[in-house]
Each structure stands twice: as structure tokens, then as C-alpha cells.
Amino acid sequence: MAHRSSKRQDQHHLRAVLETGIRQQCAGEVLLRYGNKDQLQEWLIPLLEGRIRSGFAMTEPQVASSDATNIECSIKLDGDSYVINGTKWWTSGAMDPRCKVLIVMGKTDFTAPKHKQQSMILVDMKTPGVHVKRPLTVFGFDDAPHGHAEISFENVRVPAKNILLGEGRGFEIAQGRLGPGRLHHCMRLIGAAERGMQMMAERALQRRVFGRLIAQQGSFLSDVAKCRVELEKTRLLILEAADQLDRLGNKKARGTIAMAKVAAPAMALQVLDMAMQVHGALGLSSDTVLSHLWATARTLRIADGPDEVHLGTIAKLELQRSRL
């Protein structure tokens, strides 16, 4: 039992390290693209040096947050400060004791045009009125202390200088942040799928059933080959999306990014499911990392926009090309 417990701790630590890098990269991009000199000095440098963590607070429990115009959290100017009221959940990294700053999305003007109502602001975690209500689990897996949290903001007062880019620019920042963020998720999924492929092959070369290794079973050979094909197809799509993002920018690359964001979780779930099947009952337990990887991959059909939103984007762009 001690060995199994140690193994699970190692797996959780590895996953936490990987997720830390991805999340810091996302927050770093937001600050680098949209922060001013003072904000970079105060937050970006310690963030990149690994001295602190950050959290991104956008999603809300009471509204469909895949449509950012639904956001209800209020950010009201009061003298030389902004006062924040609202509730966020699935705030990444907030359970980590090193998390020192939150990037909070809310509305500074509920009467402005719908894409100009939102703003983003930097909030020190120690600010009075910031309450971490609970950690959130995924299929029962607890990511604390590195995972997501539900957070309430009750009359949280922060300096006006903490606003990012200016009032009404939050939707713009969200769009700029989510493109690279979606690709970061896709890259993680490639890594998760590769881990699944490795574990699947090792198990098949060691485990015997009906007098033969699993690796000698015809059905397995067909399935593992199909998994490799899907993984490599998805890898190339992600590379193409990353290349377009670098060369053309987030807006022009959005169609390919959307395709990658739909394809990567579906592929990873297929590969990990097959790996779990090869492991039998062991694959369903927490004695291997497979079930945890599967649960994480499943969340990414929702995180940073559900499949349906991305499929809508892909279809609209396809129809636009046909109209030209």
C-alpha cells in the first residue's frame, strides 16, 4: 500500500509540475501582451522566475461563460480604485499557496456595446474580500493544492492602475489569451496521449491472455495502429495551428486553432481509453495515472470553450470561404 501511495504522489507531482508551466505561460502571455511597465515589473518578472503563481478568474457558476458577454462579475470605478463583486469558479492555480495574483474578468460598464462591457484587472490574492470558498474536483480527482477553486469577491478594492489595457478591453484580451491557451491544452494532450501509448505498449508486451501476449492479439494490433495514426494526425494539426498563430496572428489562425481544440481531446480520450482497456481493472484504478489523464482530457472538451463553440467557428469560416 505504501508503494501505491508513493506512486500516486509521484504522478500527482508530475502532473502539477506540467500544469504549472502551462498556466504560468498563459498568464505570462496576458501580462506580456497587455500589461504596462509597472505591471510587468510587479507581477510578470516574479511569475517567470517561478517565485509566485497566478490564477485566471473568468468562468462563473451562474452563467454560460463560454459566451464571455454573459459575465456578471462587476468591476466599478470608485475614485482611484475599482471595487469588485461576484463569484468565479474553475479559477486555475488558486489552490496553490504560491498563487499571489488573479487575472479577473468582469464588467465595468453594463450599458456599453456587449463586447465593450468587459474588463480585466489584476487582483492580489491577499486583498480583503477575496475568499477561496472551495477546491473543485474532476470526476472525484482532487488537484489541490495546485488546482482550481471557487472564489467570491465581496467589495474587493484594488488600485485603478491594476486594470489591464483599459476599460472595455476585457473581451479583446480574452480572445487574445484563449488562442494560445487552447494550443497549450492541445500540447498537453499530445503528451498525455504519448504517455498512454507507451503504457499501452508496455502492458501488451508483458501481459498474457488465453496463452498469448496481448501484443500478439490481432484486435490489439489494429487498435494500437489506429491510435498512433490519430495521434500523429492531431500532432500535425496542432503544429499547423501553432505555425499559423506565429505567422498570421490569433484572429487569422482561429479556424485551425478551433480544429485542433476539437481534435486533440477526442484523440487523447480515444488513446487513453484504449490504454485503460489494455490494463483491465488496473486501468480503472488510481494505481496508474491513466484514469486521471482521462478525466483531465475529458475536461478539455469544455475548458476554454466547449466543442460546440469551436465547431460553430469552423463551420462559419468554411461557409465564408464558399461565399467568396
- Count Cβ neighbours within 10 Å for each residue of 277-301 and write b for 16 or more, e otherwise: ebbeeebeebbbbbbbbbebbbebb
User: Along the 324 residues of the chain, how does pLDDT read in single tens digits?
Assistant: 444 444 454 444 434 433 444 444 557 778 988 999 999 999 999 998 989 999 999 999 999 998 889 999 999 999 999 999 999 999 988 999 999 999 999 999 999 999 999 999 999 999 999 999 999 999 988 766 678 999 999 999 999 999 999 999 999 998 887 888 899 999 999 999 999 999 999 999 999 999 999 999 999 999 999 999 999 999 999 999 999 999 999 889 999 999 999 999 999 999 999 999 999 999 999 999 999 999 999 999 999 999 999 999 999 999 999 887
> Which CATH number belongs to the domain containing residue 279 in this structure?
1.20.140.10
In this structure, are 142 and 263 located in the same domain?
Answer: no
Model pLDDT, residue 144: 62
In this structure, are 28 and 151 located in the same domain?
Answer: yes
In this structure, are 159 and 178 located in the same domain?
Answer: no
In this structure, are 77 and 186 located in the same domain?
Answer: no
In this structure, are 11 and 160 located in the same domain?
Answer: yes
Which of 112, 138, 166 is the last residue in one of the domains? 166
> Which CATH number belongs to the domain containing residue 56 in this structure?
2.40.110.10
Domain region containing 95? 2-166
CB 97 within 8 A of CB 128: no
Angstrom distance (rounded) from CA 54 to CA 123: 10
Which of 132, 166, 200 is the last residue in one of the domains? 166
pTM of the entire structure? 0.83
In this structure, are 7 and 103 located in the same domain?
Answer: yes
Nine-digit cell at 138?
474532476
Angstrom distance (rounded) from CA 162 to CA 122: 5
In this structure, are 8 and 150 located in the same domain?
Answer: yes
- Give the number of domains in the chain: 2
Q: Select from 126, 173, 191 the least CA-distant residue to 27.
A: 173
In this structure, are 106 and 216 located in the same domain?
Answer: no
Nine-digit cell at 220?
490489439
Model pLDDT, residue 26: 58
Which of 148, 166, 184 is the last residue in one of the domains? 166
Q: Select from 245, 266, 264 the least CA-distant residue to 185.
A: 264
What kind and span of H or E run contains 74?
strand 74-78
What kind and span of H or E run contains 13?
helix 2-34
In this structure, are 12 and 161 located in the same domain?
Answer: yes
- Residue 292: alpha-carbon gap to chain centroid: 15
